[in-house]
Each structure stands twice: as C-alpha cells, then as structure tokens.
C-alpha cells in the first residue's frame, strides 16, 4: 500500500510538471489581456464579473469537460487527439463516408497542434522575460534578444533528451504553483470580499449586462485554459488518477487563488492592469519571480516540444507524413525521442513569431483560434466515440457533448475576431501542415494503386520460378513489399541481375493500425508459400517503435531460422515521377514526389542493421 501511494505521489508530481506547465503559465498574461483590451470598462463590478468568468471557464472546460469526461475516452490507456481520432474512426468504420470526413477533421486538428506549438513557447517565454520591464523600463530593449537566447538554448538541448532534466520539472513547477498561491493569498487577505466572485451570478450578470463585450473578450478569457488539451494528450504517460489528483489538489486551487489575487490588486490599484501578475509581488521578490517564471515557461514549452515529437511519430505511422529521422534519447524509455527536422522547424517558426509580434500582448491576439478549434474538434470526435463506440443513447450523447459544443463554438467564434490581428498565423501553419499531410496520404494511395495495378501475383510467380529454379545460396533474404501477395520489385531485380535465390526467403509487409499498441503476441501473421518461402505481415500500433529484426525473431522454431549474420534485407527505393493524368493536381504531385524523395530510408525507420541492407531502385509514374 505504501509503495502504491509512493508511486501515485511520484506520478502526480510528474504530472504537475509535464501536464500543467502550459496552463500554469497562463496567469502571466490572461487577466492583463482581458482588462488591457480596452473593451471592459474598469469598475469593481466588472472585476468581479471577469474573475467569475475565469473561474467558471476553468471549471466547465477543464474540470468537467477534460478531467471528468474526455479523460474517460482513452484508447487502450492512451489519450490525445490522435488516440481520439483512432477511436472515432474505429467507431464509424461501417460508415466509410462519415469515417473519411472524421479522419479529415481529426488530421486538421492535429495540424493545428503545430500552430499551437509555435505560439505557446513564444508567448510563454516572452511574457516571463517581460517581467524585466517591471523591474526597470531600461530592460525593455533586452526582452526580445533574451527571449530568443532562452528559446535557442531550449531547442539546442533537445537532442540530449529530457531524462536528465525531466526529474526537476515536477518540483520546479510545484514551487511555481506554490508561489502563485502565496502571491494570490497575499492580495486576497487585503480584500477578502473578492472571493464573492466565486459565485456564478457575477459571471451571469456580466454576460447579461454586456453581451457584446462578453463575446469579444472570450478571445482573451480562453487564455486561462490554454494547455487543457495536454491533460488528455498525456493520459498514456501518467494515467487518469494522477492527472485528476494534480488538478484538484494543486493546480486548480493555485490558479484560482492567483487570479483572485490579481483581481484583489486591481480593486486596490487599477493602474496595476499593465502587468497585474508581477505587480502582486513585493519589490524584493521581482527578480526571483522573473527567474522562476522563466523556468516555468521553459518547462511548459518543453512539454509541448516533446508532444510535437510524439505526435509527429504517431502521424508518420498512421501514414500521413513521410518517414523522418527519429533519434531515441533514452535506452530505457523508448518514448523519449528527438526529431531534428521537427525541432529546428518549430524553432524557426517560433523565432519568426517572436520577431513578427514582438510582445506577449500581440502574440495573445494570435493565440486562441488554433486552441479553441482543437477543443471544438475534440468535442465532435467525443460525440462519435460515445454514440457509435460506446453505444450510448442519442439523447444522452447530445446532452453530454452538446453543452460543451456550444461553449467551444462561442470561444472559437470570439477568437475569429482576432483573425486579421494575428490569428491568421497559427492557421497558416496548421494549413501548411494539413496540406502536407493530405498530399502525402493521397500520394501514397496513388502510388500503392499504381503498384497494385502493375503487381504480379506472388504465389503464381514462385510456382513458375521453381519449375526451373535458379541457384540457391546460403542465408536468408527479407524482401519488403507494400502489399501482401505481390512480387516485390527488389526480388525481380535480384533474379534479373544476380540470377540467384537465397535458401530462405521472407516477403514482409509492415502494417500500421489505428490503435496505440499491438503486443508481441499479435505482432506477426505468417503463411508458408513452400520452397522455404514465407509471407509475413508485421503489425504495429501508432505508438509502437518499429523494430523489424526483433519482430522477425518470432519466426524461430517455425521452419525458418533467421541468423543476423547471414540475413540480407532487400528494399525497393522507388523514384516517383509526376505525370499529367487523373491523380492529384500537378503541384501536389510534384510536392509528393519531393516529399517521397526526402523521406528517410525505411532501413532506419524499421531499425534494420546498416551492413545488411540492399536497396534496389525503380521509377514509378503517378
């Protein structure tokens, strides 16, 4: 029992560091942006109304929607938009048209994650470093250079992995939340009447008296729930209980106290609206708070960068992006990966965002559209999961998700007002990623259709070959093929040029599925083709690490003894040639051909030994 409690405490502490870093840094800018927007007349009644809206937004969206409802929709223990998408697509697999649209919506939501991944580190670190301006206006000129230095250092250490520094995330973030609570309480004790804003009637009164203003400021209010998607995305790492325990015992109370502390400060000093978070702190604590805030924002950014690596790997295995170079940064934890292209691509986009927008207030205008649209998509997918996957009654499904749909739609609609003030930025990034993903998916479908049209039946081909068999050489040959039952081009080239066949021949197809994990007991499907030839299908979930040699070890004892020193892997390296025809439009075919050319080799992706791989190329027109 004590070991179990210790494990729960450790997981809860880790969840505080990884899951809640983003939402924990929202206090730096959320209140400032609402009152600094110029849309809310500064009166005591309005302070109560806004704080009440903040509290009930956190309660409805985070506590009820994500912590209590969405966390239930796990996919074999995994969470996140990809896991939800897989659940929804499986739930409607007997409705192909609906499934196609849900996949498109889900992949678009995943694309928006990258837009969020650019804005979040930029606004978080910039808002923390802007605390220097509170210490002295002379520091203003150093805010952007220092922000870029912090961000560069953050991205530069990614290749070393987060294992070493990750153990400090939880304690530092716990100290951060403790500091938030202390700062809030120090102001609340001076104006305890501010706690009356916990009552929803203040929020409802403000909405009733200022409906137009309420709609406009929802675009700034949503800043208080940025990072809510991380609760669901990190479900597989920590589990439901630690995430829920961390929220209700530490994060929610600390955020509430800090927001109400900022409100109490504004009641006493309306001029503090220019930066209420830092102005709550006594003068002697300003420098430590800037340092602590910078650490907290770096940790929040780290969690999002790690999430970008994880999501990219999952999307690749679902077939929506080409293979990229993926490096494992931990021998013990296979989930710790580093993708150089994603790392430096994100960094370049973040630098562009910081230089383009130049302040956290300007970035706040760009923030929100991607986040709220992702929230809306999650709600839509949840409906299809509980309706068609869990078979709940229609009325109950509408009741469970309809309210959240209305709330998410209101936040998204409000954020659309910011479209021309910066909101276009994450949408452009998401749109580019979505175009790349759909082009790759459709291009692969065209390529596979072409391969199938030109394919030769494997069983018939082998029967013909063994009528007058070629010379057999010692060892084993593993031929990778996209479709089971078809002759790989590499085999044709091998017979044509080398005029030999190995003693043992395996024709291997790798299948990726819309489930997070597939165990080793279900990894292989084997069919004997005679003459020491086998058809093998290898199954992976989108969170499994492909390792073909390890998977093929299971063939031992089934008539084929694969010895690593005498096994060769034959791969077809196809060159795609775009042609005018019935495929995609010309520019998309050219884009696909370029993506196909730049994709990392299947050998690295499948963890094949470098000294045992033979690549044979061919040109394919699409």
Query: Tens of pLDDT along 269-317?
Result: 988 888 899 999 998 888 999 999 988 988 888 878 888 888 898 898 8
Would you call 473 helix, strand, or coil by DSSP?
Answer: strand
6: pLDDT strictly greater than 80 = no
pLDDT class for 234, splitting at 50, 70, 90?
confident
The answer to which of 162-166, 193-197, 466-470, 594-598 has the lowest mean pLDDT is 162-166
Query: Tens of pLDDT along 542-558?
Result: 888 889 999 998 888 77
Angle value at C-alpha 621, between 616 and 622, nearest 5 degrees:
125
CA distance 265 to 268: 5
Q: Which stretch, 50-54, 96-100, 134-138, has highest mean pLDDT?
A: 50-54
Would you call 534 helix, strand, or coil by DSSP?
Answer: strand
Mean pLDDT value of segment 437-464:
88
Would you call 90 helix, strand, or coil by DSSP?
Answer: helix
Burial class of residue 213 (count of CB atoms within 10 Å of its CB; 0-12, 13-18, 19+): middle
Phi/psi at 185 (5° precision): -65, -35
CA distances 448 to 409, 455, 483, Å, are 39, 10, 8
Are the beta carbons of 526 and 558 closer than 8 angstroms?
yes
Strands (E) across 155-233 are located at none
pTM, 2 dp: 0.85
Query: Tens of pLDDT along 499-544?
Result: 889 989 999 999 988 788 888 888 998 988 888 899 999 999 888 8
Report which DSSP code applies to 457: B
Would you call 98 helix, strand, or coil by DSSP?
Answer: helix
Strands (E) across 23-90 are located at none
Q: What's the whole-number average pLDDT of the chain?
A: 87
CA distance 107 to 385: 16
CA distance 486 to 492: 11
Q: What percent of the chain shows pLDDT beyond 70?
A: 96
Look at residue 1 in the predicted model and tell me its pLDDT: 44
Beta-carbon contacts of residue 489 (< 8 Å; ≥ 6 apart): 572, 574, 616, 618
């Amino acid at each position: 029992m004590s070991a179990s409690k210790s494990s729960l405490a450790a997981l809860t502490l880790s969840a505080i560091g990884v899951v809640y870093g983003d939402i924990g840094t929202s206090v730096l800018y959320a209140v400032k942006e609402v009152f600094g927007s110029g849309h809310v007349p500064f009166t005591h009644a309005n302070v109560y109304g806004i704080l009440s809206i903040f509290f009930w937004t956190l309660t409805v969206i985070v506590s009820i929607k994500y912590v209590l409802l969405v966390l239930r929709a796990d996919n074999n223990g995994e969470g996140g938009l990809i896991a939800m998408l897989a659940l929804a697509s499986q739930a409607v697999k007997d409705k192909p048209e609906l499934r196609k649209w849900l996949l498109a919506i889900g992949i678009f939501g995943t694309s928006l994650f990258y837009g969020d991944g650019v804005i979040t580190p930029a606004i978080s670190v910039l808002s923390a470093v802007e605390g220097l301006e509170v210490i002295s206006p002379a520091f203003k000129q150093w805010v952007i250079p220092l922000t870029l230095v912090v961000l560069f250092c953050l991205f530069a250490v990614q290749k070393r992995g987060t294992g070493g520094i990750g153990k400090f995330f939880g304690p530092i973030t716990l100290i951060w939340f403790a500091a938030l609570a202390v700062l809030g309480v120090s102001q609340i004790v001076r104006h305890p009447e501010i706690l009356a804003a916990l009552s929803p009637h203040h929020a409802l009164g403000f909405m009733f008296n200022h409906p137009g203003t309420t709609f406009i400021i929802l675009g700034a209010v949503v800043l208080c729930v940025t990072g809510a998607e991380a609760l669901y995305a990190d479900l597989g790492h920590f589990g439901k209980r630690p995430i829920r325990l961390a929220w209700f015992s530490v994060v929610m109370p600390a955020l509430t106290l800090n927001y109400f502390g900022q409100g109490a400060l504004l009641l006493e000093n309306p001029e503090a609206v220019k930066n209420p978070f830092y102005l709550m702190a006594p003068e002697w604590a300003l420098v430590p708070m800037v340092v602590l805030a910078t650490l907290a924002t770096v940790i929040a950014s780290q969690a999002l960068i790690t999430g970008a690596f994880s999501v990219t790997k999952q999307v690749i295995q679902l077939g929506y992006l080409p293979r990229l170079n993926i490096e494992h940064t931990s021998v013990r934890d296979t989930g710790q990966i580093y993708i150089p292209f994603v790392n430096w691509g994100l960094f370049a986009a973040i630098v562009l965002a910081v230089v383009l927008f130049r302040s956290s207030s300007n970035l706040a205008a760009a923030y929100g559209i991607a986040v709220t649209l992702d929230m809306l998509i999650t709600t839509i997918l949840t409906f299809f999961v509980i309706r068609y996957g869990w078979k709940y009654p229609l009325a109950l499904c509408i009741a469970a998700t309809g309210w959240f749909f209305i709330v998410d739609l209101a936040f998204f609609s409000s954020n659309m007002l910011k479209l021309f003030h910066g909101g276009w930025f994450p949408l452009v990034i998401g749109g580019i990623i979505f175009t790349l993903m759909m082009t790759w998916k459709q291009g692969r479908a065209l390529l596979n259709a072409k391969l199938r049209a030109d394919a030769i039946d494997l069983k018939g081909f082998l029967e013909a070959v063994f009528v007058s068999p070629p010379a057999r050489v010692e060892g084993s040959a593993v031929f990778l093929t996209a479709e089971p039952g078809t002759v790989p081009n590499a085999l044709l080239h091998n017979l044509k040029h080398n005029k030999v066949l190995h003693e043992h021949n395996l024709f291997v197809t790798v299948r990726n599925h819309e489930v997070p994990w597939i165990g080793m007991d279900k990894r292989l499907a084997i069919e004997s083709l005679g003459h020491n030839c086998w058809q093998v299908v290898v199954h992976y979930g989108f969170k499994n690490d492909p390792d073909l040699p390890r998977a093929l070890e299971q063939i031992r004892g089934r008539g084929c003894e694969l010895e690593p020193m005498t096994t060769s892997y034959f791969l077809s390296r196809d060159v795609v040639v775009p042609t005018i025809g019935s495929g995609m439009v010309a520019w998309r075919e050219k884009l696909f051909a370029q993506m196909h050319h730049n994709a990392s080799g299947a050998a690295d992706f499948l963890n094949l030994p470098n000294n045992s791989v033979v690549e044979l190329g061919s040109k394919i027109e699409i």
